[in-house]
Every structure is written in structure tokens, then in C-alpha cells.
Structure 1
């Protein structure tokens, strides 16, 4: 099975690019299943219900959120009615919605998707991400005779070390562990020792002529002068769709190949291995 994951959708420009380009991208990659992180798709902070519907209609099978999950207040009610939108499993015990679910890919195959928030350097302490992940992975073993044919984890966190630890913690129990939140794609796509594909950060679907997706004038002013004058606003230039693709073995759920995705915009394209 081929699973496509796209990193944080950033603002109106990122949202429009996903709506326009996701379907042809899925077709060109022969993707069987697609997950999109919509954490910043509405004005750079959170995701509204209407914008979630746009991402799903564009071809996302699942949309994940993050620490800004409920910045758009209508998401509180929307997520209760739309199981394809996932907030972090360790956000809060009484938070609406779900943090994990099992979804159908092509040919009736089942994919478990979970999202979790890291704790290191985040603005607030969330529940332990590792025990939360352990429970979900134990409940959804992979394999042809098991409940799901693949499993993927969106680990939304600031610290690279915490993301890497999560990858090794899930090794052999998930098809893919991919980091989100920092908006800068990393160059460490790999298959870990027990067969889990891993990438520290998928990057963002946004304008890279920016400061992590925001129009660069105000962030640069604050760094240079130490003073704020305006609000941060998402950059509106050419968008690169950034993410990762994993090919799994339906018998085991483990990864056979993994490669980064760079489509359009300013970043150099990333090519799959010659064997693909």
C-alpha cells in the first residue's frame, strides 16, 4: 500500500494549493491513502470546519490537527460530527473528538491513524505521549490477519530528539512515524531497524519565502528589534507541497520504501528511489 502524508497546511495559500493539486499528486504517486495535517490551514492558527471540509473534498482521507486544534472555535462542534478529523490523543481527557481511528484505503484495506503531541519545549504540558501511543498501537496490531494493514503516527512536536525517540518507540508497530509542527522538512527519511518508516519533520504546505510560513516582515522585525508592531500573517507566495510517501507490505504493515515529497514552489523536488 502507498500512503501519502502532507505536512502542516499553512494559511490560505497552502489551503488553495492542496485543494488544487492534491488529486493529481495522489494520481501521479499512485497513492492508496492520504493524510494531511491541517493544523494551520485557517489563517495560520487552527482549522475551521469549512476549511476541513475543503481538504477532505480535495482528497485527504484523514486530516490531523495539533496544539492549535481548537483555535478556530467551530472545530469544537465540527470534530464531534466528522471522524476523519483527528485531534491529538493526549490533548485533554475531556477534549471533543478523537485522536486515533481506523479508516478504509483502496481495496478495502484498513489504516490506523493516530496523532500525538510532544511535551518538550511546548507551551503547555500535555499528557504523556508515549503511554498514549502505546495504548493505541497495542489496540491496533498490524498485519494481513490483524485488524489493520497499516498504521501511521503524526507526532506533532517541537524537539527533534522527542520525535526521534517516538520513532524508535513505535518501531515495528507502525508503518510510518512522521513529525510535524516545525514547518521545516528534514532530510532523514529512513526505515528503522524493525521496519517502521520515519521522518523527523514533513515540513509544511506553504510559501517557503517566509519565516516558517509567516510573511517575513513582522518576524524579522521582532528578531531584529525585539519589538512587535503587527500580527503574524501567513505568506501568500508560491506554495510547495511537502510531505512523505511510504510503501508498505500488506502482510506485515511494515515499510518497504520511504521518500520525501516536494511538489511545486521553491524547494528542490525530492525524487523517489530508483527501485520504485
Structure 2
């Protein structure tokens, strides 16, 4: 099977680039499944229910989250009841939603999507390594394909997680930093890996946000409310092929659509 996994959607430019182009891109790439990180889709922070529904209508199969997934409470009901959206598994169990979703499609094996969040330079949270290990131990044996979105700040933590999961999952992709890395590869154990997918957002921006606000914060040291940039949007992510029987990765490459 072929999977397209897109990075953090940031604000209106990212949403527009995704919804307007995905039907065509999916057909061109012959992608069997499409997943996207949506935690910054609504105004640059959080995900509203209406925007999640727009993504599904455009052809997204599943949405992963991160530390901003909790901003809009109107999403909480959808997190609990719609199995296509996952939030980081290593948040407390009593919070809305789940960190694991299983996708089924005729002609393909089951696909598990797992979302976890890092601890380095991030708010205090349960250990992501222990959390993902528990998830994998509890997954039914009839799910040969497992995809992990590791939403983390530190490159080193993401690389360490990649080697920790090598041979245990089909693919591990990083999100959160909004900068696409150049290290797409299949690890020795057969796990597709990319440190960060990048973002779907305004090309002329600072991580999807207005550059002038970011500059003012650095130059003055004063707090300012960030705002999503406007303008033409780009799409960034990864495209990879997975063996339907073994669940091992056959290829891994970055994806970019200007």
C-alpha cells in the first residue's frame, strides 16, 4: 500500500492548500491512505470540528494531533466519537479521545495510527517510550501496518524514537517543528522514518506564522499573540510504500507541493 502523510496544517493557507489540492494529489500519487497532522489547522492553534470535517470531505482518512489539539472544546465530542482523529496517547486517560485509531479499507490490511508526544522542551507528560511500547503490546495481531506520529520538539528525541521503534512499526514520522527534514529513509529493521514532515501552511512565513510578529518577539523580548500568515500555501510531508503482508516499509521519501 502507498501512504501519504502530511505535516502540521497551519491556518487558512494550509487548509486551503490541502482541501483544494488533495483530491488531485491523491489520484496522481495513487495514495491508498492519507493522514495529516491537524493540531494547528484552525487559526494557527487547535482544530475546530468544522475544519476536521472539511479535511475528511477532501479525502483525508485520519487526523493526528499534538499539544494544541485541546484548544477548541467543540472538538472534544468528535475526539470521543469519531475514530478518525487521534490525540497524543501519553496524555491522561481520562481526557477526551484516544491515541490509537485503526483504519480498515476493502482490499487492504488494517492500519493502526498512533499519536504520541515528546518530553524534551515540551510540557511535562508521561514517557513516550513507555507509552508507545504499551500500545504496541496491546494491538491485536491482525494489524500488520502501524504508523506513528511522534509530535516532538527535539531532533535527538525523534531520532532516538525512530531507532527504538525500528522493526516494531511500519513507519515513524515526526511533527511539531514545521520544518521538513532531509533524512527520509528506511531504517535497518524495515521502519520508514522522517524526523519531521514539515508543514502545510503559508510559504512566506515563519513556521506558518507572520514573520513580523516573530521578529518583534525576538528583538524586544516582549510577548505577542502569534497569528497565522496569509498567502499561498504549500504542502509538505512524506510518501511511503508498505508491504501489505509483512507491514515492513519498502520505500520512504519526502513530499512537497508548492
TM tier, shorter chain?
over 0.9
How far does residue 106 in structure 1 lie from its aligned partner after superposition? 4.9
Query: Could you say which structure has the greater relative contact order, defined with CA pairs below 8 angstroms and 6 or more residues apart?
Result: 2
Report if the CA contact (8 A) 1:61-1:84 is conserved.
yes
How far does residue 239 in structure 1 lie from its aligned partner after superposition? 1.1
Match of 1:152 in 2: 147
- Matches of 1:54 and 1:199, distance apart in 2: 27
How far does residue 105 in structure 1 lie from its aligned partner after superposition? 3.5
Query: Structure 1-normalised TM-score?
Result: 0.91
Match of 2:243 in 1: 249
- Matches of 1:54 and 1:247, distance apart in 2: 26
- Matches of 2:135 and 2:56, distance apart in 1: 24
- Gaps of at least 5 residues in structure 1 are 265-276
Match of 1:138 in 2: 137
Match of 2:166 among 163, 168, 171: 171
- Gaps of at least 5 residues in structure 2 are none
How far does residue 107 in structure 1 lie from its aligned partner after superposition? 1.2
For 1:79, what is the secondary structure of its paired residue? helix
- Tell me whether 1:92 sits opposite 2:92 in the alignment: yes
- Matches of 1:76 and 1:108, distance apart in 2: 30
- Tell me whether 1:185 sits opposite 2:180 in the alignment: yes
- RMSD value, Cα: 1.2
Match of 2:217 among 222, 226, 241: 222
For 1:86, what is the secondary structure of its paired residue? coil
Match of 2:20 in 1: 20
Match of 2:60 in 1: 60
Give runs of aligned pairs for residues 93-112 of structure 1, distance below 5 A: 93-112=93-112
- Matches of 1:203 and 1:117, distance apart in 2: 16
Residue deviations 1:112-137 (CA, integer Å, cap 9, x gap): 10000000000x21111111101222
Give runs of aligned pairs for residues 109-120 of structure 1, distance below 5 A: 109-120=109-120
- Matches of 2:81 and 2:171, distance apart in 1: 27
Q: How many residues align?
A: 258
Runs of 4+ in 1 over 4 A off after TM superposition: none
